[in-house]
Structure 1
Amino acid sequence: MSLSTVPLPEPLAAQADVAWSNILERASAPGAQALQDAVAPAPLASQVARMLACSPFVSDLARRKPALLLELLTSGELQATLPEAQFREGLRGQLEAEGAELSSVLRRYRQRHMLRIVWRDFCRLADTLETVRDTSLLAEACIGEALRVSQQALERRFGTPIGKRSGRPQQLIVLAMGKLGARELNVSSDIDLIFAFPEAGYTDSEKRPISNEEFFTKVGQGVIAALDQITPEGFVFRVDMRLRPYGESGALVHNFTALEEYYQDQGRDWERYALIKANPVTGDADCAAELMLSLRPFIYRRYVDFGVIESLRGMKQMITAEVRRRGLEDNVKLGHGGIREIEFIAQCFQLIRGGRDLGLQQRELLKVLDECAELGCLPRHAVDELKSAYLFLRDSEHAIQGYRDQQTQELPTDELQRLAMATVMGFEEWDTYRAALESHRATVSAHFSELIAPPEDDADAEVAADDSDLWGDNISVEALSDIGFADPEASLQRLHDLRASKRVVALQSEGRERLDQFMPQLLRACGETENPDLALERVLPLVVAVVRRSAYLVLLIENLPALAELVMLCGASPWIAEQMARHPVLLDELLDRASLYQPPDKEELRSELNQQVARLALDDLEAQMDALRYFKAAQVLRVAASEIAGRLPVMKVSDNLTWIAEVILEQVLAVAWANLTHKHGEPQREGEGYGFAVFGYGKLGGIELGYGSDLDLVFVSDAARQGSTSGARALDNTVFYMRLGQRIIHILEARMALGQLYEVDMRLRPDGDSGTLVPSLERFARYQQDDAWTWEHQALVRARFVAGDSGVADRFAGIREQVLCLPRNESEVAAEVVKMRRRMRDHLLPREAPDRFHLKQGSGGIVDIEFIVQFAVLAWANRHPRLAHWSDNVRILETLAREELLPEGEAQALTEAYLQYRGAAHQLALQQQPGEVDAALFATEREQVVRCWNTLFAEAEAIE
């Protein structure tokens, strides 16, 4: 019986027919008939022909082992995706059979699965990702079982290795590196491994105890021999151990402490690059997690790491030089536009940004590329092109390697192999395939060339020549004056002070070189501002703060537009300068000018925060708190920058600052809830919500937050007061919600590297500081109706739901509206408002000079307008309930005009004065100035506010 070779080119069809005849000839008569029967169904006939034509590896293996081919043809495994567990379970089952010998079982198992993997890949029954997954799972199974058998044999001789510190049995952790670590192994790859064990100690044998290091060295040697040695059955996987500490000259195994110390003290950037894909494939899961946790600070710097750029640039240059030196143009992995260049692009962003953007801390290349698009590191179209090229190149690699099961990525020169490769790749001829390949490689090469581009040499040389007198021993007053400094003597002294400071004197050579490179650029950037001396004075504290973490200097050296933005913003606002000096990590925000000056709306803020915390466990409190603090600092910087640039009016500034607080409160509540319910279970309540809500008062409630505002909060719950939580460590509901409130306050106020989130004021809750932290809705309603003072009803005017259970929020809103609409004696309300206003002015108004006006507490200022609005709501909402709808002053003033309770012109004047006062307060905050201005500046506005005040409160003022 001849094969169905109709779809194949004639030379390949002839090769398939010869191979099939050889297989049938080698098989026994019954076996030959069984093979012919097995390939009779249409799909299998064409698949067999394709495989025998395009893979001498498959045809040679089938000729030597026709029974293996028959078994696979009849088992259905060639046509199906295997579950992950089957690789390890199938191998263990064979090894546990009586008389099984590790070396031969591993090799036969590898042959069976490699035949299956190449078959499914070449016949396009499996996509690229399944091929690399299955090859990786096969390798993991072989490593794991070789380790298990080797360790068991050694334990019979030397006993069980025991940790000196823990007293527990020890297991070898095999770190899979490179493509195996990411489960992206190709079909004829070696495997890069590192061996580690948790603790030093000794085996527990009474007769022949040996150290854990010696024991696991023997285990490692056994694993390597089982996998790597070539026998008559071939090999399993070639093993490469050169990525371990100290390479080939280093010990074969290291304990966790030794590994951590090595990477901390001697680890190099290329080792960080290599460890990105490191993945423990054996050993105790908790120990493996402990090892990876200890390595993470070495792999990923805590924040954006621009200090690694020069090393990456060097690696890139080495890649380019190697292609030229070794003539790798026809290598689909190492040549221009090859697989390695795509991997380098992805891993560059992982090293630079992975410390902060946790989504980059993944092993799989395609997922990392998608994350690069999400984060804006690469345009989406570039990522799509790189992914398409990567899959094409990996398929090409498999077509090359699956031909003879050889570890090569070189394009074939033999005409028959070229035809086979083109056929596997879906092309009718080699030239058509080659054209498609070159198109993909050109695309990859272009993206690779754009990555970490070297400085423009000519321009840099000119600047360097001009900068000789802007830093170092030759720095001069004349040079500073020439680039725009108005007071060069004072600026020169500041620079001398910087050079003489302890931090600079103690710098190592690399840090000093970076500072020497950075300072002339900084001075030139300052010279471009309106006030170079002031800009330099404000930026220098940042330089002092980061000089020992010179990666930040590299960030600015590599991104001169970001340096220009930094100098401009610091020159415009000492508040921004102080924030940058305190939190240099915010320098990363300067890299994207478009986003810097476009603060997101609330939904965009919520989406951005969700992306930043999506890969953090809700119950990982410290990581969540760190992420929230960075998010707040970065978003507030964007608002401040936009206000300085004139892109945000005062209402929008407060809106944005309030939205930031709201989305943070939502996440803080979610984190606190997860943290407590993990320990105690969920409280008994109706429905699916929290049974708990957070309400903002004051500026938060009025949507009027400023840059340094604290948060006036009230917590309320409506869960069953007699209920308890569902966990093993149950709490009464009241205790649970009290702890929930305490946890929220802790998350907001705890001081960490990035400071606090917010100061919190809880004194507006029922009974103030002496009241329960989380009252029930019923208790809140009773208090407001029966016991609250007028000033507490004034505060309730500005109360607003900001986070938590919407059902609780709806009931709270009903209570609020009912209380605000209570009938009140207008004269009594006026008297109470005037009394409270005088008390506030006596206690809170700084001694005001006659020629100064305190924006908040001064006569005719912000608080007078707020009290006018609050009086209007309390006095008139009973007859005009629309007044109780809003919590912000501007919309209440609009309602007062619509309801004809204030003349429209008067309401408009109050609104304009209020907005102008707040705008001035924001600007003063950015300049770190007290909240007062020249009395003449707002004379007209104050007069209008005072006139309205007198109209409403003249009688009450007279009584007082």
Structure 2
Amino acid sequence: MASDRSSTLTGLARVGFRRLTEADADLNELADLIGVAWGDLRDAASDAADPDAAVSGILFIARRDADAVRSLASSETGWRALWALLGASTGFAEFFLRHPEELRELVDAGTRLPTDVEMLDELLDAVGARDGFAEDGSERAWVALRVRYRRMLARIAAFDLLSASPVDQVPFVAGRLADAAAAALEASLCVARTRVSSTGAAFPREQVAATRLAVIGMGKTGARELNYVSDVDVIFVGDGEPWLRDEVGESRVIDIATRLAVQMMRGLSEMEIEPPLWEVDANLRPEGKQGALVRTLESHLSYYDRWAKSWEFQALLKARAIAGDVELGESYVNAVGPKIWTSAARENFVDSVQRMRERVTDHIPPEEVARQIKLGPGGIRDIEFTVQLLQLVHGLSDHGIRQRSTLAALDALVAEGYIGRAEAAAFSRDYRMLRLLEHRVQLRHLRRTHLMPDEPDALSALARATDLGDTADAVVTMWESVKREVRDIHVRLFYRPLLSAVAALPEGERSLSAEQAKDRLAAIGFRDPGGALRHIGALTSGLSRKSQIQRHLMPVMLRWFADGVDPDYGLIAFRRLSERLGDSPWFLRMLRDSSGAAEDLTRVLSGSRYVGELMEWIPESAAWLDDQQRLRPRSGVALQEEARAIQTRHDNVEDAMHSVRALRRREMLRTAMGGILGVLTIEEIADTLTTISEVTIQATLRAVRREVVPEQDQALDFSVIAMGRFGGRELGFGSDADVMYVYRPNGVEPQRAHELAQALVKGLRRHSEDHRLPLDLDADLRPEGRNGPMVRSLDSYAAYYRRWSLSWEAQALLRARGIAGSVKLIRAFTELADEVRYPVDADPQGLREIKRIKARVENERLPQGTDPARHLKLGPGGLSDVEWLVQLLQLQHAHAVPGMRTTSTLGALEAARDAGLVGASSTDRLAAAWRLASRLRSANTLLSGQTSDVLPTDRVKLDGIGRLLEMPPHSASVVEEEWVRTARRARRTFDKLFYG
């Protein structure tokens, strides 16, 4: 007996049941109710994706109407259809429980799809429609319509579920669903006409009959790509027969049409005895929710001519007349068609489409992103947006790709050469699979959803419903694979047709395709497509190995260039780099075999002229991209060893400095590349740039001293003191190297020592010059500024500071730090500086003078015509505010607070916070402004290759700065807003602490 029981449960498990004991009991009860053998019921369950749900649903129906179930069991096709339906959809189980009499309509279900004509006739019959009016305008008519619609939906679903290959049936099923929706709209409009013209209504029947209302299907409805349960997007166009317009006026006609539209929507969407079918969504109309529900054709066209945004033309791509007045609907579609296909010529059209796709992704709740079939990365929207953008860009001149449906458009794009066959085939296959998943998850409860289930049982049922096996892992593995493939094709599909159209065309045919190629390049972001074409031709023409590899790489690299800040410059720089490297084997291997390195190369070239110009002179730097560790800064010790080795190898200063300049350029380039690619933080960049400058100055000083100071005067001590941001180890790209020079005769005759020191300074300044990457040794912070001697002895500095020092000179010393030359002299100078910059009691008059100078600097030193709010150094909340405040605090408190005796701005600020001199929130605001201003200055220099303290107003440059700061594309406004907000907070804090 136990063995029989075990065998029974094993048989149930083999069919797919999970709750074996409950299933056995349900099957027994169902067998008793309808007279079908237990074993036959078990075998029938094999057609169900979820046998437990199927038998439970059928049992509930049988308890209410056993005869209806028993009758259907005698039909092989109907019986299979019922198990398939209820195994995939608890929503249909609830429908048949409400209406068991509808089971008889499944007798031949699953054998074919109903036609559009059949469905329209059936729904019109459901409401007793004749001459555009229904027999009954009450809720009963809409209940009948909803029941009949779901009967048709069940027949479509049965065919879908029982198909040998449901993924191949997706376009046909989606088309029939759209036809069913159109038929439902038509039938509901008939009920609305009767309702609006019923006894006591405001509109006579003859006026309602003479009112023309066209229903335009949009989105998936218009494209005949509808889901089982989806919003049905529509636009309404109203008009009236000429006699009606003459008699009551246009506004009255639109009033009638609007009342019809409202009632028609209500009949399908509002709660009644029978649940609503789906939402009729008219929000794609002109002005959206705020606009009139119904407009005349002329009003629509006027809006599209004057006010419509780019996304509205993209939405119109799928517009189709689906219900109501067919002639008026076709007139609308024909009239808006030319506007759709010229919309890509609008300024920033491609950019706006891309931003819209990004906004869609950004608005997905974080917890849903990984489960989104439709909107998430690698989902349906990636395919649809890609296809639509290609259509809109190229459809202006090519009528062959003007298709509504996604799959038809894909076929057309392949036929016309805009998409490669492999990518199109993958996109088509993946689109069908994603749509099949979407259909199945909506069937489950007959509810609108685009989320993959996360319960193992639901995933297993989904696997069975999509013919992917019996396990949750099977469907999840497939889905993740599809998402990866879709996402990859989505970001590169624009570019392969460009390669086939430009690189592979014979010379005689190129003139025929040049405009097409230019359109494609312009569409993906190149501002000079003609120039880009020439560079592509130069890179890919010929039969050499290099050209062959470049031809294979160019489509992908064009995609990466187009994703960058300046695709045109990136391509030019890449061509120059390729020409400099020639046929270098390592370069060709890296391009071919290391996709990460090739992508990073396009990123740094399209994102930074600073990098592009340096890489042209240091082409071997491309090899660093193949190993991220090579983008990390080399240690100061390693650089010092290399610099000393240079001095050993070269006998004269000219040769030595040529190699030192090369070292500096190379390491500055390494740092820039590491910064752009996110390998280095802003703090690491500042520290590295400072170290590079120190090593360069030290090496230069050694070389110059060897040439300038004779053997008998070697006792002379000479040192370079770093000042400003250099002294604080806070350099950015483009920063000057503020310095002071000091010497000590140390036994050398004083006048002779002074002359030698001047010669050392002159040699340092001359040999540190670099026309490719300037190193400006700026000594303006020395005593008496530009009017003072370029170099002083230590005693002269001591005498000056003790007798004449001004407050700003003591302030300048706060960041003084010895970096080259005599260590003993640096130590002595530091002791002298400490006496001046860390006084026991700060001079109140001197502090007041610093505040006065700060106010004068703000008023007088800003370049004429510059918006103060955009000046990152001298503007409100900029670097100067933070640094002057910190320095004021240091002058007041550093003697008593050892932690504030540092040349680091942020280090001193944090010490002031720890000492209770500045609040934590104030510290955070000031530090945030200082860091952001530093990052913006460096990013501006990297982007343009030129130094500037002013945040640009050009949106393209701002976006480029944002990208360098690792913001998403199109962040120009975010950059501005972030700076303005951060600077404003810092300025309020500064005013309170500095002047308060």
Q: Could you say which TM-score interval applies, normalised by the shorter chain?
A: 0.3 to 0.5
Task: Give the TM-score normalised by the residue count of structure 1.
Answer: 0.45
Task: Give the TM-score normalised by the residue count of structure 2.
Answer: 0.43
Of the two, which has the highest radius of gyration? 2
